[in-house]
Amino acid sequence: MQIINLICFFLLANLYIVYTQNDRTTIARKQRRKLRHKDARRNSSSNHRHSRTPLNKPSVSPISVADIFINPDNTFVNVYDSVLGLREKETNYNVLPEKKGHCSVNGMIMYDKAVWSPKPCLTCLCINGKVVCDETVCPPLKCLRTMTQKEECCPVCIDFEPNDPSDPVLVQSPHTHEMSEMLSREEEEIQVEEENKEQKRRKEKKLQKEEKKRQELEARHKEEEETQRNREEEERRKAYEEEERKIEENRKKEEDERKEDERRKEEEENRRSEATRLEKERQERLREEEEEDEDGDEEDGEENILRGDVYRNPPHRFPSPTLPEEIPLMQLPLPRGCFISGISVSCTNAKLSQIPPISDPDITRLDLQGNSITSIPNEAFNGIPNVEIIDLSKNNITSAGFGPQAFKTLKNLKRLYLDGNFLALFPTDLPSTLEEIKINENNLQVIDEHNFEGLHGLVTLELESNQLSEGNVSPLAFKPLKHLSYLRLGRNKFRTIPQGLPTSIEELYLDNNQIEEISETCFNRTTNLHTIVLKNNKLDESSIAPLAWIYHENLESIDLSYNKFFHVPSYLPKSLVHLILIGNMIERIPGYVFGHMEPGLEYLYLSFNKLTSDGINPVSFHGAYHSLRELFLDHNDLTAVPIGIEDMRALHILRLNNNKIRSVPPDFVCGAYDEDSNLEYLHLENNFIQTREISPYAFSCIRSYSSVFLKPQKIK
C-alpha cells in the first residue's frame, strides 16, 4: 500500500513539473516572437539605419520534459543524441539500488531515459540509473545590446523604441531608463555617421563638378589656342600677301621709273642730237665767215686758242643765230650716255675711252664709273675746279696712265674712288683735302712710307682685294694719317696684323686674309679701336695671345667667323659687346668665359657650328645673363633648349632653329618668373618638336605668340 501511494505521489509531482515548465516555455516563446515581429517592422521602415543584429533564436534551447511528451519519438531521440555528444557531468544524485535503471532525484524516482530541467540552462537525463546533466551553450550574438529574459537561459538582442510601454521585456526590465539613454546615444551616433557620409558624398559630388569644370575650361583653352594659332597663321599669310603685294607694287613702280628714265634719256638724246646738229651748223657758218673776213688780223685769227685749253669756254664774239649768246656751255651737247642732274654730271656706263671735256665751276660731283678710260692726263679736271667727288671706278686706268698733276689743282676734292682698275702703285700728289680714298680691287703691290704724305685729313682708306702683305707694307706708311679712323685691308695676303697702325683708328677690317696669329703687341697703340673684323682667316683659340686685347676699354665688336675655333676663345676684351663666331667648329662654351666683361656681352652669334647640349652648362653664360639681347644658336647639334635661357631677362632675339631639339619643357624658356619676357623673336623651326605636345605654359612669359616661330618641323 505504501508503494502504491509513493507511485501516485511520484506521478503527481511529474505532472506538476511538466505543466509548470510547459507554461514557462510558452510565455518565453510568445515574448521572443513579439520581439522578432517588432524588429522586422523597424528594419523595414529604416533602410539607412546602422543595423543592429536582429533577435536570433538560440541554437540550443532549453529542453524540458514537456517537449518529450509532445513528441515522444523524435524529440527523445534528438535530445538523447545531443546529450551523448556533449561533455558529461556527474552529479551527486543517488542511484536507488533496488530500482535497477531508475534514478532518484530529490526523493523522486526518475525512469530510465527520463529528461528534466532542474533549473534554467541545465538539462538532465537518466541513463541506466545514472543522471547525466548538460548546460545549454548560448550562441554568440553580434548585436550591441542584449538582455536575458525571465525564465530564459540565453540572452537575446534587444531592438525596440525607447520607453515603449507595450514592450513586456521593458516593463519587466529594472534598467529601462539606462537602456533608453544608451539607445538614444546610439541613434545620435548613427545620425552623426550618416551626416558624415552625406557630407562626404557632397564633397565627392563637388569634386566631380570641379573636375568637370576644369576639363571644360581646359578644352575651351585648347580651342582658344587653336583659334589663336589659326588667326596667327591667317595674319602671317595676310602679311606675306601684303608684303608680296608691296614688292609687286615696288617692282611695278621701279619698272615705271625705269621706263620714265629711258624716256627721259631718249628725249635727252634727241635734244643732244639736235644740239649737236645745230652746233655743227654754227661751226660751219663760223668757218665760212672767217674765210670771207678779209679785214681779220692775225691775233683775231688765232682766237687765243692754246694747246691744252680745250676745256675753256669758246669765244662769244661770234653770236650764234640759233642759240642765245647767254646760254652756258653746259647746255651744249655732252658725250652720248652723259647727263646733268643739278650740280652733278653722270657718265656711268657711257662707253667712254677718255675723260670728257667739261667746264663748269659749279659742278661738285663727276661720276665716270663703268667706262673704258685708260688714263688721267694732267689738267684733265681744270674745267671743274670745285669738284668734291670723283668716281672713276670700274675703268681700265693703269699706274702709267696716271698723270702726276691730274688732281693738283682740285682744292676742294674730298672723295676719290678708283675701285676696279689696274693700278699697281698708289697715286702720288693727291690733294691734302681728301677725306676718303677707295682703291679696292686693283693690283697694288707696295705701300711705302711716302705714299700717304700730305693726307693729314684722310678719315677713310680702303685697299681691299690687292696684293698687299706685311712684307710690302712699310711699318711707317700709316704714320702721316693722324685722323684715319676707318681702314679696310681685307682680301689681301696678310699673315699677321700690319704694324704701325695709326693710333686714331677705330674700325679695322682684315677679313679674307691668311692671318694665323694675334700677338700681344699688335694692338698696343690702337687704344681707340672699337671694331675688328677677322673673319675668313686661320685663327684658333691657341693663336690669340692672352694679353692681345683683354684690357682694351673701347673694343666692343669682334668678328671671328669662319676660322678654326673649337670652343669660344678666352681672354676676350672686357669691354666686348658684340661677338660673332659664325661658321667655326665650336663644340662647347667654356664656363665663365664672359664673366670678366663690363658692362656685359649683348650680342652673341654662334650659328653654323657644332654645339651640343653637353657643351653648354649653367656657367657658360655667367656674366652675360643680365646683358644678352641677341643669341643665335641656330644650325648646331643641340638636342634641348640650353640651360640658363630662362634667366636671360634682357633677351630680345633667340634663334634655335635647325637643331635637333625634341621638346620644350615649361620652365626652359620662361622659368618661374611672373613678369613678361622681353623676347620679340623666338625661332624654333626645323627641329623635331611635336608642337601639339608643348605645354601651354612653355611660352607664357612672351607677350605675343606671333613672336614664336615653330613651323615647319622636321620629320623623325
Q: Give the tens place of pLDDT for each residue, 442-453.
A: 999 999 999 999
Separation of alpha carbons 24 and 508, rounded Å = 128
Assign 30 a pLDDT band (cuts: 50, 70, 90).
Answer: low
Same domain, 114 and 242: no
Of 289, 307, 322, the one marking the end of a domain is 289
| Range with the poorest average pLDDT among 137-151, 417-431, 539-553, 564-578 | 137-151
Of 289, 315, 330, the one marking the end of a domain is 289
**What confidence score (pLDDT) does residue 23 get?**
55
As a whole number, the mean pLDDT across the chain is: 78
Rounded average pLDDT over 472-498: 95
Same domain, 203 and 234: yes
Rounded average pLDDT over 91-106: 58
Cell of 540: 684658333
What digits encode the pLDDT tens for the residues 151-169? Answer: 677 777 775 544 455 444 4
Rounded average pLDDT over 383-391: 93
Same domain, 198 and 127: no
What are residue 344's DSSP bridge partners?
341, 365
Q: State the DSSP code for 396.
A: -
Separation of alpha carbons 354 and 377, rounded Å = 9
**In this structure, is residue 657 part of a structural domain?**
no
| Residues in the chain, overall count | 716
What are residue 346's DSSP bridge partners?
339, 367
Q: For residues 348 and 367, is the Cβ–Cβ distance under 8 A?
A: yes
Q: How far is CA 363 from the centre of its chain?
A: 59
Q: For residues 628 and 602, is the Cβ–Cβ distance under 8 A?
A: yes
Cell of 416: 676719290
Rounded average pLDDT over 499-515: 95
Q: For residues 172 and 150, is the Cβ–Cβ distance under 8 A?
A: yes
**In this structure, is residue 26 part of a structural domain?**
yes
**What confidence score (pLDDT) does residue 612 get?**
95
Q: Is the peptide bond before 599 cis (omega within 30 degrees of 0)?
A: yes
What digits encode the pLDDT tens for the residues 616-668? Answer: 998 999 999 999 999 999 999 999 999 888 888 899 999 999 999 998 988 88
Look at 262 and 223; give whichever has higher pLDDT: 223
Assign 31 a pLDDT band (cuts: 50, 70, 90).
Answer: low
**In this structure, is residue 247 part of a structural domain?**
yes
Q: For residues 369 and 394, is the Cβ–Cβ distance under 8 A?
A: yes
| Range with the poorest average pLDDT among 200-214, 309-323, 490-504, 534-548 | 309-323
Report whether pLDDT(316) > 50.
Answer: no
**In this structure, is residue 617 part of a structural domain?**
no
Same domain, 266 and 133: no
What are residue 507's DSSP bridge partners?
486, 531
CA distances to 68, 91, 92, 133 from 84, in Å: 16, 16, 19, 10
Report whether pLDDT(221) > 70.
Answer: yes
> What's the start-to-end Cα distance of the chain, in Å?
124
**In this structure, is residue 371 part of a structural domain?**
no
Look at 102 and 350; give whichever has higher pLDDT: 350
Q: How far is CA 47 from the centre of its chain?
A: 60
**In this structure, is residue 225 part of a structural domain?**
yes
Assign 183 a pLDDT band (cuts: 50, 70, 90).
Answer: confident
Same domain, 283 and 207: yes
Report whether pLDDT(19) > 80.
Answer: no
Of 289, 310, 342, the one marking the end of a domain is 289
Same domain, 164 and 212: no
Look at 20 and 509; give whichever has higher pLDDT: 509
Separation of alpha carbons 211 and 103, rounded Å = 82
| Range with the poorest average pLDDT among 118-122, 441-445, 491-495, 573-577 | 118-122
What digits encode the pLDDT tens for the residues 109-124? Answer: 887 878 877 777 788 8
Share of the chain above pLDDT 70, in %: 75
Selection from 654, 657, 648 nearest residue 623 by Cα: 648
CA distances to 19, 57, 384, 616, 637 from 29, in Å: 16, 10, 147, 93, 94
Same domain, 195 and 173: no
Same domain, 10 and 81: yes
**In this structure, is residue 116 part of a structural domain?**
yes
Assign 190 a pLDDT band (cuts: 50, 70, 90).
Answer: confident
Same domain, 204 and 242: yes
**What confidence score (pLDDT) does residue 502 get?**
93
* Angle, CA of 159, 161 and 167, to the nearest 5°: 85
Assign 607 a pLDDT band (cuts: 50, 70, 90).
Answer: very high
**In this structure, is residue 355 part of a structural domain?**
no
Same domain, 102 and 64: yes
Same domain, 233 and 102: no
Rounded average pLDDT over 170-184: 59
Q: Which range marks the domain in which residue 231 is found?
A: 188-289
Cell of 595: 664673366
Please report how many Cα atoms fall inside a 13 Å half-sphere around the Cα of residue 387, on the Cβ side: 25
| Range with the poorest average pLDDT among 273-287, 302-316, 526-540, 552-566 | 302-316
Same domain, 165 and 238: no
What are residue 402's DSSP bridge partners?
376
Separation of alpha carbons 579 and 584, rounded Å = 13
Report whether pLDDT(674) > 70.
Answer: no
CA distances to 19, 77, 135, 263 from 110, in Å: 17, 18, 19, 156
**What confidence score (pLDDT) does residue 657 get?**
95
Share of the chain above pLDDT 90, in %: 39
Report whether pLDDT(244) > 80.
Answer: no
**What confidence score (pLDDT) does residue 715 get?**
81
Selection from 528, 439, 514, 430 nearest residue 471 by Cα: 514
Number of domains in the chain: 2
